[in-house]
Structure 1
Amino acid sequence: MAFITLTTDFGTKDHFVGAVKGAIYSELEDAKIVDITHEISPFNITETAYILKNSYKSFPKGTIHIIGVDSELSEENKHIALELDNHFFVCPDNGLISMIASEIKPTKIVEINIHDRIESSFPVLDVFVQVACFIARGGNLTVIGKEIKAFKKIIEIQPKVNQLENQIIGGVVYIDNYGNVITNINEKMFQEVGKGRDFVISAKKHTFTKIFSKYNEVATNKAYNNQQYEGHKLALFNSAKFLEIAIYRSNLDTVGGANSLLGLEYRDTITIDFINESKKDFTILT
């Protein structure tokens, strides 16, 4: 029995998701199909990468992940299949694999070459499904494509560290259902660069000098109901270990989320400045 996941920007109004599932079942009647999401912002590669990085590991080893975002075939946008961390990915080579493969390198990558036999304007249905089902039957990747050594990388997924290691420059890669703003700065980088130093996180005109371990830590006064703290801003490392800027008990219909209340959007710059001991006497505004 094969587990096959689907991650696309198709939405659920149209027939696309149903057609893909039907094609898989036509090939593998006992397949287990799981929707990771079909609500990726159209053509948003960075958002796709973040969601996949933080979901694929929850599935059993050997799971096949079909990724249908910006998947139209072109000279610049090849189709690839790869094995990474005992999982298989069938996707366009548009950089979305960069975040997943930033710490774990693929075991094998092939450029899919079955397009010569298939003319299609819907490659997820006509090509990716065939490749995924072939892998599910135990097929070797090299049968469906020539092996390659590298995949396309997108720079914006990776934060930068300045030469003096006093600053991390990152950006917003995802805004979740609560309006929480997720950056590409992970906890490991923060600890390695910061080395325990004081810091200032800057997000547009807003600054943070403390990172909480969970959301309700912001509600420090037990004399008040937690609802008294609704609307308080905070920074924390989320369950995926990425720096997140949030609004406590945010509700997009009432209180608002960090994206709307703080004016933060996808690709906005987020910086962390670390303070050397000799400079600790200056005033930090919070």
Structure 2
Amino acid sequence: MGFLTFLSDFGTTDHYVAAVKAKILTLNPEQVIVDISHHVEPFNIAHALHVINSVYQDFPEGTVHLLAVDTHGTKNGRYQAALYKGHYFVCADNGLLSLITENDPRQLVDLPAQPDSSSPCRDIMAPAAVGLANGANMAEVGELAEDMVQRINRQLRLNDHSIIGHVVHVDHYGNLITDISQDSVDAIGHGRPYTIQFNREVIDRVSRRYNQPGEGDCVALFNRQGFLTIGINKGHASELLGMYFDSRVEVHFTPDPAE
């Protein structure tokens, strides 16, 4: 029996999470359920993508990830399961799967439809997730699918001397996680000094820890997933800097004197 993780935009003040868990435990009382978060912003696919991409590979291969975000947002009424990098993902066909799998899942199936269901996560997605967690193959939980709703991530703007990216997530502490990866900085910079510019601030040093600068000072570091993150030591960077999802962040490299 594999692990089953649960990510949703249901919140925790209502009964929705408990109803889904009740269904899972009815199907298998011994099923291990790991809550990732139930505080994804409602209907926010980008937020869900950031959260699941930050953690799913920490789980063993074979783990099933139940993704209940914008579950009524599928215009075609489809719910799907996908196999990607050894992990199973179950969610509405609302574009999230295309972003997780980069439009290239190893396997993709449509789950059996229940058009009258008021809770597709409970009635359609949860049974498929339990089946996969207990060893069912993809063909046993759905019919082979050849397509899914596709979304495209915002792309970095790169040139010889700069990278322009954006904030993709604001975490609980107010830290600003961007889509600028350390790999992109290394590839464009070739070891050159650089500055990080955002709002009216400029940082010329990348730290290893949030508390490396003085209290109240801005800090830039690469997080565990390798993405540039901006914070304020003992402060809420999003509120204090007036930056939120999609705010612009730039990296500027010092030109080579030989150029």
- The verdict on a shared fold, with TM-score over 0.5 as the criterion, is yes
- The answer for the alignment partner of 2:189 in structure 1 is 194
Contact 1:24 1:133 (C-alpha < 8 Å) held by counterparts: yes
- The answer for the alignment partner of 1:168 in structure 2 is 163
In the alignment, structure 1 residue 79 sits paired with structure 2 residue 74: no
- The answer for the alignment partner of 1:138 in structure 2 is 135
Contact 1:111 1:148 (C-alpha < 8 Å) held by counterparts: no
Note the C-alpha offset of 1:150.
5.7
Question: 1 CA distance for matches of 2:138 and 2:175?
Answer: 39
In the alignment, structure 1 residue 260 sits paired with structure 2 residue 239: yes
Note the C-alpha offset of 1:118.
5.2
Contact 2:99 2:150 (C-alpha < 8 Å) held by counterparts: no
Note the C-alpha offset of 1:273.
2.1
Note the C-alpha offset of 1:180.
0.6
Q: Which TM-score applies when normalising by structure 2?
A: 0.91
Question: 2 CA distance for matches of 1:146 and 1:216?
Answer: 50
**Deviates further, 71-80 or 21-30:** 71-80
In the alignment, structure 1 residue 244 sits paired with structure 2 residue 220: no
Q: Which string of whole-angstrom CA distances, capped at 9 and with x for unpartnered residues, describes residues 145-188 of structure 1?
A: 223256512323xx3233x3332221111111111111111111
Kindly provide the amino acid, as one letter, of the partner of residue 238 in structure 2: N
Question: 2 CA distance for matches of 1:279 and 1:120?
Answer: 66
Note the C-alpha offset of 1:231.
0.5
The 1:99/1:17 distance shift into structure 2, 3 A limit, reads same
Which structure has the larger Rg over C-alpha atoms? 1
Question: 2 CA distance for matches of 1:237 and 1:99?
Answer: 22
The DSSP-based 3-state class of the residue aligned with 1:182 is strand
- The answer for the alignment partner of 1:107 in structure 2 is 106
Kindly provide the amino acid, as one letter, of the partner of residue 29 in structure 1: P
In the alignment, structure 1 residue 66 sits paired with structure 2 residue 66: yes
Kindly provide the amino acid, as one letter, of the partner of residue 117 in structure 2: S
Note the C-alpha offset of 1:205.
1.5
Kindly provide the amino acid, as one letter, of the partner of residue 194 in structure 1: G
Contact 1:96 1:154 (C-alpha < 8 Å) held by counterparts: no
Query: In structure 1, which of residues 195, 200, 205 is the aligned counterpart of residue 200 of structure 2?
Result: 205
Question: 1 CA distance for matches of 2:98 and 2:185?
Answer: 20
Note the C-alpha offset of 1:134.
2.0
Contact 2:3 2:33 (C-alpha < 8 Å) held by counterparts: yes
Kindly provide the amino acid, as one letter, of the partner of residue 230 in structure 1: E
The DSSP-based 3-state class of the residue aligned with 1:128 is helix
The DSSP-based 3-state class of the residue aligned with 1:83 is strand
The DSSP-based 3-state class of the residue aligned with 1:277 is coil
Question: 1 CA distance for matches of 2:161 and 2:201?
Answer: 19
- The answer for the alignment partner of 1:226 in structure 2 is none
Structure 1 vs Structure 2: percent identity of aligned residues? Answer: 33
Question: 1 CA distance for matches of 2:162 and 2:131?
Answer: 47
Q: Which TM-score applies when normalising by structure 1?
A: 0.83
The 1:76/1:209 distance shift into structure 2, 3 A limit, reads farther
Question: 2 CA distance for matches of 1:76 and 1:170?
Answer: 32
Question: 1 CA distance for matches of 2:78 and 2:125?
Answer: 12
Contact 2:67 2:89 (C-alpha < 8 Å) held by counterparts: yes
- The answer for the alignment partner of 2:216 in structure 1 is 231
Structure 2 residues without counterparts, runs of 5 or longer: none
- The answer for the alignment partner of 2:20 in structure 1 is 20
The DSSP-based 3-state class of the residue aligned with 1:148 is coil
Question: 2 CA distance for matches of 1:172 and 1:77?
Answer: 31
Question: 1 CA distance for matches of 2:100 and 2:212?
Answer: 30
Note the C-alpha offset of 1:270.
1.2
**Deviates further, 239-248 or 13-22:** 239-248
- The answer for the alignment partner of 1:128 in structure 2 is 125
The DSSP-based 3-state class of the residue aligned with 1:215 is coil
Kindly provide the amino acid, as one letter, of the partner of residue 252 in structure 2: D
Contact 1:73 1:79 (C-alpha < 8 Å) held by counterparts: no
The 1:204/1:77 distance shift into structure 2, 3 A limit, reads farther
Kindly provide the amino acid, as one letter, of the partner of residue 249 in structure 1: K
How many residues of Structure 1 are paired with residues of Structure 2 in the alignment? 258
Question: 1 CA distance for matches of 2:257 and 2:78?
Answer: 52
